[in-house]
């Protein structure tokens, strides 16, 4: 199965004071660099879902995909599915740009779980909580996702994944799914990364 990745960076970063999360510095490098480093080895190709001027990401070597309609992370997933399908991919794994500790085996574990789903859709879970932004999406679901987004002004990922029989890949390390939503979260991540091994 040919799997591509999509890094979701279309949010407004309100709790970061409107900052562009992808470009926030973490341990001397942009947050996006940390995510690419952990995620790129797991997928055949990688793209970035982001709105605004794509030139600000020119140094990362990624195709930048804007949302057709700004309806949250699912809009980025849809852009990723359409892009990956055009490249011959079978599925897309999505991750948020504010997850620098994402599991090194995220894509393989999602693939294993997806084998038990009637649609081939799978989401991650850890610590008793679903993490649906970390998911494997078959490209064949693009039309259904487009219809879902067109029918709901406030689409929820969990509504779509539940309706399409998503399997769950369970991970032991809850901290791997830590999102950096606030300046305090960023400071904590900085401390964790600088801590001696």
pLDDT in tens, the chain (197 residues): 899 999 999 665 555 555 788 999 988 899 999 999 999 999 999 999 999 899 999 999 999 999 877 788 999 999 999 999 999 999 999 999 999 999 999 999 999 999 999 999 999 999 999 999 999 999 999 999 999 999 877 889 999 999 999 999 999 999 899 888 877 778 877 777 776 55
**What would the pLDDT profile of 63-76 be if each residue is shown by its tens digit?**
999 987 778 899 99
Query: pTM for the full model?
Result: 0.92
Contact 12, 18 (CB under 8 A): yes
**pLDDT tens track for 11-30:** 655 555 557 889 999 888 99
Q: Say what the pLDDT of residue 14 is.
A: 55
Q: Is the dihedral of CA 32, 92, 141, 143 positive or negative?
A: positive
Could you give the dihedral angle defined by the CA atoms of residues 3, 149, 14 and 98, in that order, rounded to the nearest 10 degrees?
-10
Alpha carbon distance 192, 117 (integer Å)? 36
Task: Write out the E strands in 9-155.
Answer: 25-26, 29-30, 45-49, 63-65, 91-96, 122-126, 129-138
Domains of the chain in start order, with CATH, are 3-194 (3.90.550.10)
Q: Look at strands 25-26 and 91-96 and give their pairing.
A: unpaired
Whether 45 contacts 5, CB under 8 Å: yes
Q: Cα 67 vs. chain centroid, distance in angstroms?
A: 14
Structure tokens at 71: 């309806």
């Amino acid at each position: 199965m040919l799997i591509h990745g999509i890094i979701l960076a279309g949010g407004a970063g309100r709790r970061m004071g409107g900052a562009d999360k992808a470009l926030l510095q973490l341990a001397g490098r942009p947050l996006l660099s940390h995510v690419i480093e952990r995620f790129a080895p797991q997928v055949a190709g990688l793209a970035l879902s982001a709105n605004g001027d794509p030139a600000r990401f020119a140094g990362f070597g990624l195709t930048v995909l804007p949302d057709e309609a700004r309806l949250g992370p699912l809009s980025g997933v849809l852009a990723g599915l359409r892009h990956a399908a055009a490249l011959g991919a079978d599925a897309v794994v999505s991750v948020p740009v504010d997850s620098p500790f994402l599991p090194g085996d995220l894509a393989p574990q999602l693939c294993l779980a997806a084998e038990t789903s009637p649609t081939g859709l799978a989401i991650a879970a850890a610590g008793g909580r679903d993490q649906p932004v970390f998911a494997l999406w078959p490209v064949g679901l693009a039309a259904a996702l487009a219809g879902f987004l067109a029918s709901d002004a406030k689409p929820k990922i969990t509504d779509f994944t539940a309706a399409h029989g998503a399997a769950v890949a369970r991970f032991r390390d809850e901290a791997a799914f830590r999102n950096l939503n606030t300046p305090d979260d960023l400071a904590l991540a900085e401390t964790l990364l600088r801590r001696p091994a």
